[in-house]
Structure 1
């Protein structure tokens, strides 16, 4: 546990403190000499704008060699999301100032927020920010530009807050580790991560979990998928030389009679579009088409690593969508696991086909109290909201409001997709099959995709769909995500929702 009181500090490389817009240091400390060192720089060189840094040298003071002051901005504007961003700012500033190992952080007292909440937010932001993906770099490249070692933070709090702050720090580290584990999966090259390799990554995660004795993992390959007639998964993958996988995780740590929560994630490890081929530029980031799978698997990892008292199921259909002589063709009619038939008019609308089989499986095999699917599903959603939010669609108002609450607390935004049944209800009807896999027009594509999925949710189970086509990948650093690439959204939202519904 990296939490202590101010009186325990000595010989620190750097001490991080926070100042409000009045340039007043926030937090409990009692070192008058250090305060004197800061007086002149604060008055003359610093405006305390949000995330603004100021580094002050203390000339071999026994407590610390340097003090890094970070601006809070207006105290009335501060939020936990701001503290996550400040965690990223302090990690970035420390790296820029060549801090090699660790730093002590004087936790500020601001507004209504508890010390433990601020510790959790700062640690989450700092840890997520420091994610690096370097495993595909050559040895020569790594020698020239070695990856930086993560900076460890020691939080300075009042004695009465030590226990709660310590627990919050541990929770934040487990959460951030889960987020970055998922981001690594998304960052991996499609040559590295194909369906069978995804299964191996999940197996390693399960074996390393402190809850491994409470986890059951089942994997179907093509033999089992054919035996059970999971036509959506098989049709999408039939153009690929790599075998499809259908991964099911069950975590049993709640009441024996308690129904589980179910998560379903789209696991297309590369999406060329199939015979409805995407243009080359659109394929450049299509390794991220399994970000939905990474999200639900990461939320599962966080849940089991924290050993939460709940029952949780995670279902991931994993495929590659490739063009070949064996690939499915526009005009094909396929029979799904549910028995429904689907006319495939665009092979690039493949995610909904594998999700349909997975939703049918989750709702019939486990009869969960609710099911949430996550997918990089439609360009329509990405065009509507960009990187700002996930699109939300579903059948149950209580479930949607619960996700909105988790969204507000996690800082990961969701936006309700329009749901006008009289306009959209017949868009997915086919002349030759039960359903078509794209709408009759290009309008409202994110909603019509949700309507298609809704047809495969059985037993009137509450269901929600999160379309992360826009927010699953950032084209530039944003907030406390420090690099272009996988954002990790909505992993923390899902983890928070599970925690709130134990």
Structure 2
């Protein structure tokens, strides 16, 4: 069977195969094209670069890994004893384990694939399949055509997990001025024994949301000013039905009273702005609850006059991850044409050191008139979020309000790098977000809103103090959440502190090194499931 040309290859009916790169970045990456193939015949892989077949880990009480659909057929077709190969290489079929098997050079005649891959799918759970998909993406970089039977017979939720893992691990960050980056992901992945369905299109949209969030977050701050992010929001929303973008510059923020955003951005040569992105469902859609997502958007954080140590400052281009995540979630909701109206608010500023920087000891009046005593200019995130939350409460009429932020080092100290801290007193909202977390593998841990700690917000010179005084109750992530709660107007609200999982120091399964885009899929799945 000859290798199909670009013009003859089937297309993914979702039409959503590429993630747009930020302006100014080079080394554009394309998401692999996922194509369902109804036939499960492994001979469809003739001429392919790779044929990947699944192998499960041995069940309890047994010692040998278990072949899954297509593995035995591939062994017969290619004249291989996969059991012996697995035993020789100590391949156990654990989730994400890969064993590459080069095939005779005679296969270059198109009679078979160039390489066989045994792909470990572990216990076959959604988590294991997501990891298997990620491993396949990394093992096939540089390939043009990959064929796999790993999706054969999977229920939609498991197939989606596999596809998302594959697409997420295929990501590489934008590279400015570099032409020889990492090998590109596979161009085409054909999944045998599957048919076109929502698992494909929704996996692509969810993965693309994460790609968008990663791209924006990974872009260097030498490029990424607040207004650059605003321009990216406009560009990404252009042509997406039902989406409108509004940008307020510093002059408009001053007129409206956004004191927190203006104070944080005062020391920078690049002025702040606030971006609002609204998605309105198609006409005729039954009314649903209005969700407002607020994302911290500090395009670089020096700490201000309370300056950070050099080592802590290096990754601070990622301090606008929350804004990137909520933008990506709203665009994803629009691409899926969800019945849920969703609005994202992005308060964007650079926290720099300058002659006009705000100072420890200052009192700042945020939107709505609340005065805040500044104790530490490196706690700038809660100041821009205060403005944005008040704006959401007073002008956007949310039924549900969720903020996302790389807010506190305390959250990552307490929970490490793989869990986000989730704060909410709303039991139904908690369970909905937990359910979305379980479905996407983006892990959250509920943290307490300890009422006994509210004294830490008391000030002698203002309505509130935004950072606890020395000798306070501790629990910096908790007191930050309590501070934010003051600006939610008593609405149904959740706070997601992604300081830990928002960044990664190495590739791990579907997570890629650097900006992770954590939360984009979680929020999108929550919206898909019908946030109520």
1:47 aligns with 2:91: yes
- Relative to structure 1, the CA distance from residue 32 to residue 135 in structure 2 (aligned partners, 3 Å threshold; closer, same or farther) is closer
User: What is the 5 A alignment of 1:206-225?
Assistant: 206-209=237-240, 211=241, 214-225=242-253
Match of 1:34 in 2: 77
1:492 aligns with 2:528: no
Structure 1 residue matching 2:459: 3-state secondary structure: coil
Q: In the aligned structure 2, how far is the partner of 1:412 from the partner of 1:198?
A: 25
Match of 1:56 in 2: 101
Match of 1:448 in 2: 479
Q: In the aligned structure 2, how far is the partner of 1:241 from the partner of 1:70?
A: 51
Q: Deviations over 1:17-72 (max 9, x none)?
A: 11122333212575673274234424544432413322334543834333211123
1:18 aligns with 2:54: yes
Deviation at 1:205, TM superposition (A): 0.4
Deviation at 1:93, TM superposition (A): 1.6
- Aligned match for 1:481, one of 487, 506, 511: 511
Match of 1:117 in 2: 157
Given the two structures, how large is their TM-score scaled by the length of structure 1?
A: 0.90
Larger proportion of helix: 1
The number of residue pairs the alignment matches comes to 478
1:123 and 1:169 in contact (8 A); partners too: yes
Match of 1:82 in 2: 128
2:281 and 2:339 in contact (8 A); partners too: yes
2:449 and 2:482 in contact (8 A); partners too: no
Match of 2:184 in 1: 148
2:160 and 2:199 in contact (8 A); partners too: yes
2:169 and 2:510 in contact (8 A); partners too: yes
User: What is the 5 A alignment of 1:95-494?
Assistant: 95=141, 100-107=143-150, 114-138=154-178, 142-143=179-180, 147-157=183-193, 161-164=194-197, 167-209=198-240, 211=241, 214-253=242-281, 255=285, 257-421=287-451, 423-440=452-469, 441=472, 443-458=474-489, 460-482=490-512, 484-494=513-523
- Relative to structure 1, the CA distance from residue 27 to residue 233 in structure 2 (aligned partners, 3 Å threshold; closer, same or farther) is same
Q: Deviations over 1:112-157 (max 9, x none)?
A: xx4333332222112211211243134xxx25x5642544211011
1:372 and 1:466 in contact (8 A); partners too: yes
Deviates most, 115-124 or 238-247:
115-124
Deviation at 1:331, TM superposition (A): 1.0
- Relative to structure 1, the CA distance from residue 134 to residue 267 in structure 2 (aligned partners, 3 Å threshold; closer, same or farther) is closer
- Relative to structure 1, the CA distance from residue 37 to residue 28 in structure 2 (aligned partners, 3 Å threshold; closer, same or farther) is closer
2:298 and 2:349 in contact (8 A); partners too: yes
Deviation at 1:430, TM superposition (A): 0.8
Structure 1 residue matching 2:238: 3-state secondary structure: helix
Q: In the aligned structure 2, how far is the partner of 1:224 from the partner of 1:168?
A: 43
Deviation at 1:14, TM superposition (A): 1.8
2:410 and 2:477 in contact (8 A); partners too: yes
2:40 and 2:152 in contact (8 A); partners too: no
Q: Deviations over 1:205-230 (max 9, x none)?
A: 00143x2xx11211101111111111
Question: What RMSD in Å do the two structures reach over aligned CA positions?
Answer: 2.1
Structure 2 residue matching 1:47: 3-state secondary structure: coil
Deviation at 1:364, TM superposition (A): 1.5
- Relative to structure 1, the CA distance from residue 438 to residue 163 in structure 2 (aligned partners, 3 Å threshold; closer, same or farther) is same
Deviates most, 125-134 or 330-339:
125-134
Q: Which sections of structure 1, spanning at least 5 residues, go unmatched? A: none
Structure 1 residue matching 2:467: 3-state secondary structure: coil
1:48 and 1:70 in contact (8 A); partners too: no
